[in-house]
Amino acid sequence: MIKQKLQNIANIQFGLYEKPHHTGSIKYLHAGHFDKLYNPTDFKDSYIELDGKNDKFLLQPNDLILAGKGHRIFAWPYDPNFGKAIPSSLFYIIRPNTDYVLGEYLAYYLNSEKIQYELKLIGAGATITSIPKKELGQITITLPPIKKQQEIIELIRVLDENIELTKDLLEKRTTLKRGLVNRIMNQEIK
User: Would you list the DSSP string of 96-158?
Assistant: E-TTT--HHHHHHHHTSHHHHHHHHHHHTTSSS-B--HHHHHT-EEEE--HHHHHHHHHHHHH
Q: Whole-angstrom Cα distance, residue 146 to residue 162? A: 24
The pLDDT of residue 34: 86
Are residues 22 and 104 located together in one domain of the fold? yes
Average pLDDT over residues 30-45: 81
Are residues 63 and 101 located together in one domain of the fold? yes
Residue-range definition of the domain harbouring residue 181: 145-190
Q: Which residues pair with 134 in a beta bridge?
A: none
Q: How confident is the model at residue 43 (pLDDT cuts 50, 70, 90)?
A: confident
Tell me the pTM.
0.84
Q: Whole-angstrom Cα distance, residue 106 to residue 99? A: 13
The pLDDT of residue 187: 81
pLDDT digits (tens, 9 = 90+) for 81-134: 999 999 999 999 999 999 999 999 999 999 999 999 999 888 876 677 889 999
Are residues 178 and 88 located together in one domain of the fold? no
Cα torsion angle, 13, 18, 20, 26, sign:
negative
* b (16+ CB within 10 A) / e for 125-148: eeeebebeeeebeebebebeeeee
Number of Cα atoms under 13 Å in the Cβ half of residue 144: 9
Are residues 105 and 55 located together in one domain of the fold? yes
Examine the pLDDT at 148 and tell me if it is beyond 90.
yes
Compare 177 and 186 and report the one with higher pLDDT. 177
DSSP letter at 40? B
Neighbours of 35 (CB within 10 A): 10
DSSP letter at 21? B
Are residues 129 and 54 located together in one domain of the fold? yes
Are residues 119 and 73 located together in one domain of the fold? yes
Are residues 129 and 63 located together in one domain of the fold? yes
Number of structural domains found in the chain: 2
Are residues 154 and 183 located together in one domain of the fold? yes
Structural contact between residues 30 and 46, judged by C-beta atoms closer than 8 angstroms: yes
Examine the pLDDT at 149 and tell me if it is beyond 70.
yes
CATH number, domain with residue 98:
3.90.220.20
